[in-house]
Structures are given as structure tokens and as C-alpha cells.
Amino acid sequence: ARLWRQSVQRLRETKPERVLSDLNAIIEDSLRILEKHVSFQNIEIVKALDRPLPRVSVDPQEIRSVINNLAVNAADAMPNGGRLTIRTSAEPQFGMVVITVADTGVGISEENKRKIFEPFFTTKEKGKGTGLGLAMTYGIIQRHGGLISVESQVGRGTAITIKLPLR
């Protein structure tokens, strides 16, 4: 718990370095590196990126970290392979840009869906995860004034949706 408090404190002290950014470019940069990783060998990566997507004021490094974490979690949920789909779209009527990271993996139970953004919660075997990735992701999205939600069905996959404000 002390480690978590220290990590959160460091994140709070570090102000996001926000710049007007192209989310599609951030996603493509992240995926270019990830798709070479052994965890993604049996995974089809589908990029459904809306173009042109309005630029948003974000810390590119933090958003890259979010994409990496969600993609790696998706790959872990598909040990026998599957499809990872990353979709972007604009909702100008709501002043939002949307990123969805969806997989065809094992899914998340109803009970666990309520816990996935809690620090130290993990369903991974010992030594495979700390349970901090989704908690940190949640914190990053909140600091950007965004929203994050999860939809999942056991045995059918998971979709995590992020909405970031245009302004």
C-alpha cells in the first residue's frame, strides 16, 4: 500500500506535459513497437482509426503508456491468439474524442469488472502483474479530464473505452 501511495504522489506531483496531439499517431507509434513483441505473435491487430481526428491536448507520453498497458492486457487475455481492435472516433456534439481497445479474449467476470481499476487488483498469476497498470491508466485518464469504462463478457472479450475532452 505504501508503494501505491508513493506512486500516486509522484504522479500527482508530475504535471502532464500537454500539447495538441494526434491520438492516431500516438496509437500507431505504440502499436509499431508492440506488434514486434512476442506476446503479439498470434494476435491480429486491427486499427480502425477515424481520420481526420481532431487534435486533443494531452501528455503524449502518458497516453502512449495507457495504450501500451491496455494492449498488453488485451494480449494477456488472448493466450491462444485472437484479435485486438483499436478504434478512434470523434463525438464533437459531446466535445469528446473516443478510443476503444477491444479484444476477443477470455473476458472479465461481473464481480471483477467492479475491481479492475483498484490498485493491486489482478487476476494474473503471481509474478505476472502488479495490479497497478489499470489503476495508473484510470488516474491518467482522470487527470486528462476524461472518462474510462469497460464492457466485457466472459469467453467473448473485453472493450475498454476512453473519452477525452476536445478542449
Residue 126 CB partners (closer than 8 Å, separation 6+)? none
pLDDT reading at 12 higher than 60: no
Of residues 84 and 10, more confidently modeled: 84
Distances (CA, A) of 88 to 17, 22, 36, 118, 166: 22, 11, 22, 26, 13
Of residues 129 and 103, more confidently modeled: 103
What is residue 36's DSSP assignment? T
Q: CA 102, 34, 112 angle in degrees (round to 5)? A: 40
Lowest mean pLDDT among 21-25, 30-34, 108-112: 108-112
* Calpha distance 144→138 (Å, rounded): 10
In this structure, are residues 37 and 76 in contact, taking their beta carbons and an 8 Å threshold? no
Q: What is the pTM of this model?
A: 0.82
Residue 29 CB partners (closer than 8 Å, separation 6+)? 64
